Structure 1
Amino acid sequence: MRYLISLVIAGIVTFFLFLGMQALIQGGEGAMTDPVKGQVLDFVRLKQEETVQKKERKPQKPPTPKEPPPPMESPQTQSNNLDAAGGNFDFSADVSADVELAGGLALESSDGEYLPIVKVQPVYPRRALSRGIEGYVIVEFVVTKNGTVRDPKVVQAEPEAIFDRAALDAALKFKYKPRVVNGEPVEVAGVQNKISFQISG
């Protein structure tokens, strides 16, 4: 009996559900067919035109070049200063003009006489500098075809054996423009040079 009542109730409920679904379906078809009310506006956002400003760069004028400094003359002599033990001293070593003894003064007629280019002042001996000794040395040597000095020797020294080594070492560093005879360089022998050692100040 209970099962029969349940079936009847289930059938009634199912019937009403079908009716409800039919009503919903008819209502939905009407909504789909109705015309759209109102207007639809499409908004399209346009970017503003950007103006590109071009800057013209004018080339800068190059700076006016400064006047070049005058060329410096190359020193003819080089000096070396030594500090004596216990104090400082300034000294000067004079290099006198060259004299050729083999043929008197160098005044022979030729394509070109030898000329001194570089004369290096000697190193003042430390012993003589510390004792305040002054003097001079006359050195004799040969000017070669290349303008270098060969075979230097001491002809006269005052005082003796004090400044000899310094004078000979300096003479070996002398540079000359060689003598030219008939377009060919030749050696010049017997060239003498007086080197003075004096303490100044």
Structure 2
Amino acid sequence: MQSLIQSGGSALTDAPKGSVLDFVRVKKEEAVQKKDRKPKKPPKPEQPPPDMAPPQMDAPSPESTTSGMDFGADLAAELSLEGGLALESGDGEFLPIVRVAAVYPRRALQRGIEGYVDIEFTVSKLGSVTNPKVIQASPEGIFEQAALDATLKYKYKPRVVNGEPMAVSGVEVRVKFELGG
């Protein structure tokens, strides 16, 4: 500010008085060294490895018929299910995959009450539980909701007939509520 007041008589268009310093950075020359990082090949052995003997097999060769086994038997004629249905790969009954444990109701836990709930439901084509309903409960009015909630989380491998998944109704499960101890 003081320099502006002192130089008040000069116009801003006049050249500045004094010397101007310019700083120039000069890069030094760098020598870049390149290294060959390929691994060296191991030296060749002086002698080749010895030949391996063929393994000894205890089982008879396929050409041998003296073993007494007949591999040409027709098994398809003997395999059948009740009702005349032939076995097909991938077909089968529904199987439980995930069974979630029911949450013990706090009121029953505090009072030391044990019991069970019988539930009937349908296993859908996707393997989930649908339409669960209580068939029987002992004691009534305590464990039903906890059992229904747990049953809805069950997952099944659905029944497969002729390669198509099918819903299975009338599946019954007993959910037990027991105090460990």
- Give TM-score, length-normalised by structure 1: 0.46
Runs of 4+ in 1 over 3 A off after TM superposition: 107-110
Q: CA RMSD in A?
A: 2.4
User: Hey, what does 1:131 align to over in structure 2?
Assistant: 111
Tell me if 1:171 matches 2:145: no
Give the structure 1 partner of residue 176 of structure 2.
Answer: 196
- Tell me, what secondary structure is at the counterpart of 2:125? coil
- Structure 1 CA distance, aligned partners of 2:134 and 2:112? 22
Displacement of 1:160 in angstroms is 0.4
Correspondence for 1:116: 96
| 1:185 equivalent in structure 2 | 165
Q: What corresponds to 1:99 in structure 2?
A: none
The residue that corresponds to 2:121 in the other structure is 141
| Shift, 1:159, TM fit | 0.2
The aligned length equals 99
Counterpart code for 1:151: N
| Residue aligning to 1:153 | 133
Identity of aligned residues (%): 62
Structure 2 unaligned residues grouped into runs of 5+: 1-38, 40-81
* CA distance, structure 2, for counterparts of residue 190 and residue 138 of structure 1: 12
Which one scores higher on RCO, CA 8 angstroms, separation ≥ 6?
A: 1
Corresponding residue for 2:15?
none
Q: How far apart are 1:161 and its partner, in Å?
A: 1.2
Counting helix residues as a fraction of each chain, which structure ranks higher?
Answer: 1
Please list every run of 5 or more consecutive structure 1 residues that lacks an aligned counterpart in the other structure.
1-57, 59-106
For residues 167 and 174 of structure 1, the distance between their equivalents in structure 2, rounded to whole angstroms, comes to 11
- Partner secondary structure for residue 128 of structure 1: helix
Q: Which residue of 2 aligns with 1:83?
A: none
Q: What is the CA distance between 1:200 and its match in structure 2?
A: 1.5
Give how far 1:193 is off: 0.3
Structure 1 residues 118-150: Cα deviation after superposition (integer angstroms, max 9, x where no partner) = 000000000000000000000100000000000
Helix, strand or coil at the partner of 1:196: strand
Distance 1:171 1:195 in 2: 8
Select the structure of larger CA radius of gyration: 1
What secondary structure does 2:170 align onto? strand
Query: CA shift at 1:188, angstroms?
Result: 0.1
- What SS is found at the alignment partner of 2:103? coil
The 5-angstrom pairing of residues 11-160 of structure 1 reads 111-160=91-140
TM-score between both structures, scaled by the size of structure 2: 0.51
